[in-house]
Every structure is written in structure tokens, then in C-alpha cells.
Amino acid sequence: MILLRLLARLPLPVMHGLGVILGWLIYWAPGRHSPRMRANLFAAGLAEPGRDTRQLLRRTVGEAGKAVTELLPVWLRPYATVLKFVRGTSGWEQIDGALAAGKGVILLSPHIGCFEMINLYAASRHPFTAMYKPPRNAFLDRLMLTGRQRGQANLVPTDLSGVRAQLAALRRGEAIGILPDQVATSGDGAWAPFFGRPAYTPTLAASLQRKTGAPAFFVAAQRLSWGRGYHLHVLPLGDALPADKVAAAIRINQAVETIVRRFPTQYLWSYNRYKRPGGAPDPDTLPPT
């Protein structure tokens, strides 16, 4: 841990530079990482006219490496220092307004940029509850808890007790965080298209909305160039999610797609978004989008 803390003191531009190198080392290493990244990125068809798809891939590899190396300063530097990495926000006043009105809010944070910063920033302003699945490695578990459980953050397990804790937080008028683009567990998901392919999508946000009436906001943590820090973008969900699970999953995925198209190189394309979790039904024919 001492060595990691020393590395965490390096300036963020240096850490991002090292991240680009690390990204390519991981990319060329044997395993499923690079094939999955290429397959998911290319299938999404995000290359703009006149932009070479390979160029998009090269930038994505670098950003993926930055996502790893930036965790050290984000998790291990003093909390007040980490909060200064947020160089600006767009729309955060809508979240503050909802909380000031006594409403709980649901923050939906896709795997874009430095999404770890969203939890830390939110917890610096208001009580914030998020689910947490401990890794099997005890050292990594301790490192993650050190970095994430700061400010007014409350980490709860990814089980029924965690769901109850998030529900209670919303009823107290507090904020909670949910990853809208992770693979859902078999009991809390629905198949819905994500960039044209069936993805088992979590619908917990829809369930919590129905029970509390809490508004939901998508938040993306854009990684700024040259290690300048991060900008948090808030996009209101608008009307409540549908009660139907499939309809809710479709709407969630459409919103995530919109955000990914804004920051295509900063999305976690190596994540196995399209896997079928144990106990989940076979994906049916994709519903219309």
C-alpha cells in the first residue's frame, strides 16, 4: 500500500501518460480483453464519417489504460485534493434542487470516463448510498473501500439488504447510485437491445422509482485531455421509467447509448456487456427500438 500511495502522488497528467502505455500493454497481452474491446466497439458502428475506425480504437485503448492508472490518485490522495479534480459540472444544480425539495434522487452512472469520481463528488455534497460487491482479493477489497467510502458515502452489499438500504435512503430524501449498464442478476433484469445486440439490463432503478417517485439523472464523468481532470455531465431521465421491465430496460439502454455516442472512446468496451448471467432466460427476439 505504501508504494501505491507514493505512485498516487504523481501528477494526474503523468498518471494518464502512464495509462496510455499500460493500455497498450494490456491490449497486446494474451486474453479476451482486446478481442472483446474490438468486437464491441466495431459492432456499435460509432465511427463518424471521415473518421477511421482504427483511429477510434487507438484512442479507446489509451483511455482504457488511463481508467486503470487514475484509480491510484482518485482513491489514495486526500479527499479534498481528489475533489479538486472535478473541473466543472453541467446540470448538477438539478440534482441539488431535487434533494433540497426533499426528494431522493437516483444517479445512473454508466461506465464512461472516471465514473468513480461521481460517487466521490456526490458524497461530498449529500449522503450517498451505493451498492458494492467485494472482490475476492482481500488487498483489492481494502484498497477499494479506502478509496470509495469517503465523505458521506455509504456502501451496501449487492443483495436484498443493499436494495432495502437504497430504498430507505430514497425515502429519507437522499441520493443513491446505480450502474445502469452492468449485467443484471437473473432476478433483476430484462433483455433489451444495446447497440443492436441483446443485453441483460438491470431494472432496479425502475422498481425503486415506482416505490418512491424519486427522479433519476444520468451522470457521466468525462475525462479531460492532458490530465486536466474531469467534467461531470448531468442528463435528467425525464418521465419515470415504465413499469414493464422490458420497456424500462429499452429506455435505459437508449439513454446510455446517447451518452456513449458523446464520449465513444471513454466507454468501457472491454466489459462483457452481452453475457448471459446464470439463471437468466434466453434472449428473445429483440423488441423494436
The pTM score is 0.93
Amino acid at 56: L
Nearest residue to 44 (alpha-carbon basis) of 260, 221, 289, 287: 260
Q: What's the pLDDT at 283?
A: 86
φ/ψ of residue 25, rounded to 5:
-65, -40
Contact, 133 vs 185, CB < 8 A?
Answer: no
Q: What's the pLDDT at 1?
A: 77
- Statement: residue 26 has pLDDT above 60: yes
Q: What's the pLDDT at 51?
A: 59
For residues 250-256, give the mean pLDDT.
96
CA gap 178, 110 in Å, rounded:
9
The three three-digit cell numbers of residue 75, written as one number: 482513491
- Statement: residue 192 has pLDDT above 80: yes
Q: What's the pLDDT at 277?
A: 87
CA gap 146, 26 in Å, rounded:
25
- What are the pLDDT digits (tens) for 207-228? 999 999 999 999 999 999 999 9
- Statement: residue 166 has pLDDT above 60: yes
**For residue 73, how far is the Cα from the chain centroid?**
18
- What are the pLDDT digits (tens) for 112-165? 999 999 999 999 999 999 998 888 899 988 999 999 999 999 999 888 999 999
Query: Exposed/middle/buried for 81, CB within 10 Å: 0-12, 13-18, 19+?
Result: exposed
Q: Given pLDDT bands bounded at 50, 70 and 90, which one contains residue 15?
A: very high
- 55 or 230, higher pLDDT: 230
- Statement: residue 286 has pLDDT above 60: no
- The pLDDT mean for the chain works out to 93
